[in-house]
Structure 1
């Protein structure tokens, strides 16, 4: 199994193709999984999070042959949210008692699954037969309030902002159950159901890949180009209408592939650049004109929307210098909603399943 440790600062130069197989919203279903290096499940493993449901899903994932397997919960995985289940658990499972602690142990004590509960990891793929690459990942189950379900927060800026402040700036792979606003979030009512504060957090972090599910009908892929111009307002995006993903695996035996590699001819404009803490604090190590421009911004006046204690001047349109200094190579994010359910099952519609989405990307080789 891949090693999972606290986040160090690494900057290897050599890259190698790494294959991610991405799924979400299985809702007790199991499907054939294509081969890959990393398996990611973006939540809603079950319908109601019972021990029986979770046992079957965990057993399926544990048997899957991947070097690294990353899992988060979703709003339907009720017993994985202790606070929620203590308050509302009696309304579910036909009054059959469930033990949240025992349900959670299925994931927290799994020998082969890395269960992320609103937290980050550095992953090193160590198998001699694998790519031996490394990446930083952050995973969170939280979604804006949408009824009586688990892991929810109110759709209020202050609340949502605090939730997403925890995403580290050096995150390469962002895994959330719910989507960001206007990015793979249109539900069956033709409403954009994603979180705006998550979208703003994505602008700050600019991960290589942002994975989600939750809104089943929004399955698909898009590439978001971030506006990092010194004259722009925070959280702005550039027009990026050139990329249209058509599922190459629809109706055939091929993988539903997203090729972000150089060899594939359409690499992601994101070098995963990151900054050591001294640069974040002083900006004195900026080495090019763009970094120097960022260094002139006032980023120390008072706390703003930041992560890990970073600060900014909310009165300034460019108060996020810490999010930009030394990180201007992070210009694009591939957003993927990998929900397997093709409709809003179990709420509405029949149970129809998509294929997992496979992502190839060049990542740095460690050591």
Structure 2
């Protein structure tokens, strides 16, 4: 007998990134995702008020004097601001299962993987070296993302998707782009490239490894108006996302996650990618900082409890 179909319920996810000490006005939602660069230099006072370098313990031990020479900060104290807060799930290249249990919420559940890392550009925390040429071996850190991931949060965007800069072209990570094809999460949230704020729906090519069939850019309904910047994936205002979130447990147990057959994930045909950068200009912000709105995503997720 086939398993009973899951009950799905609309879940509103508010996405932000690269706030750099700004405090955007947040619309109502069920989940808030921040994809990194909450502050400028990660001092305790900056973190307490809202490049979060104090959270990267090894980096800060070696380079902290370059940022806070007169007032060294405590990695443990800064980290505790996140890990001790009951309403915050801090993901440092790690995964969690979230069950929304608010009495007034949707009572949905999802698996999320979050990572602060991005390709090395200057002396900043949570950096990794990228391949020097297209034929070089790609970094392996994105192999850690489980196949069961529903929502992926990374600071860097994938290569060629929401990663265009005004001076250096595409600045995203090719290894992450390939990992997205392998995982095909329902939603991927990033930031890092400030001027590339936006969203797109990526339709995956299921017969050619690591390739896309096409992508569709999002038109922001909140641009120049008081409306929220909404991405609808539920079918109410746009076609529903072609991704059933099916989890390949049988395949994973038989062959290992990284060797799963393409057919196992055939129900995951689309991924919505969001670059949720709030600050949309780069240092030194000639003419002043330009700030964007949070991007709100409506997504159907499975209900874990009636309510």
TM-score above 0.5: yes
More divergent stretch after superposition (261-270 vs 31-40) = 261-270
Work out which of the residue numbers 252, 266, 270 in structure 1 matches 2:243: 270
Cα offsets for 1:273-306 (capped at 9, x unmatched): 1121x43344xxxxxxxxxxxxxxxxx7xxxxxx
- Helix, strand or coil at the partner of 1:334: strand
* Deviations 1:118-173 (CA, angstroms, capped at 9, x unpaired): 11111111123111111110000000100000000000365622x10110001111
Equivalent residue for 2:31, pick from 19, 28, 38 = 38
Counterpart selection for 1:109 from 84, 88, 98: 84
Indicate the SS of the match to 2:165.
coil
Matched, 1:226 2:204: yes
Equivalence for 2:276 = 338
Give the drift of 1:326.
2.4
CA distance in 2 between counterparts of 1:280 and 1:140 reads 22
Distance 1:12 1:215 in 2: 39
C-alpha distance in 1 between matches for 2:106 and 2:253: 34
Report whether the alignment pairs 1:168 with 2:146: yes
For residues 227-275 of structure 1, what are the alpha-carbon distances to aligned partners after superposition, in whole Å with 9 as ceiling and x for unaligned? 112xx2x1011033xx332211112110001011122241111110112
Where does structure 2 lack aligned partners over 5 or more consecutive residues?
Answer: none
1:327: how far off?
Answer: 1.6
Aligned to 1:89: 64
The verdict on how the C-alpha distance between 1:265 and 1:245 changes in structure 2, with shifts beyond 3 A counting, is closer
TM-score by length of 1: 0.78
2:5 and 2:60 mapped to 1: Cα distance?
44
CA-based RMSD:
1.9
Residue number among 252, 262, 282 corresponding to 1:280 in the alignment = 252
Contact 2:138–2:175 (Cα < 8 Å) also in 1: no
Which piece of structure 1 moves more, 190-199 or 244-253?
244-253
| Correspondences of 1:156-305 after superposition (within 5 Å) | 156=131, 158=137, 160-161=139-140, 163-229=141-207, 232=208, 234-240=209-215, 243-276=216-249, 278-282=250-254
Q: Give aligned pairs, total.
A: 299
User: In 2, distance between residues paired with 1:361 and 1:255?
Assistant: 15
Q: Does residue 28 in structure 1 map to residue 6 in structure 2?
A: no
Contact 2:181 2:210 in 1 (8 A): yes
Query: In 2, distance between residues paired with 1:364 and 1:200?
Result: 26
TM, length-normalised to structure 2: 0.92
Residue 359 of structure 1 corresponds to 297
Structure 1, unpaired ranges of 5+? 1-9, 58-75, 283-299, 301-308, 312-319
- Report if aligned partners of 2:203, 2:213 keep a CA contact under 8 Å in 1: yes
Task: Report the Cα distance in structure 2 between the residues aligned to 1:246 and 1:90, rounded to whole angstroms.
Answer: 44
Output aligned runs, 1:19-168, within 5 Å: 19-57=12-50, 76-156=51-131, 158=137, 160-161=139-140, 163-168=141-146
In structure 1, distance between residues paired with 2:188 and 2:138: 21
Against the structure 1 CA distance between its residues 94 and 281, is the aligned structure 2 distance closer, same or farther, given a 3 Å change threshold?
A: closer
- Would you identify which runs of 4 or more consecutive aligned residues in structure 1 move more than 6 Å? none
C-alpha deviation, 1:186, in angstroms: 0.5
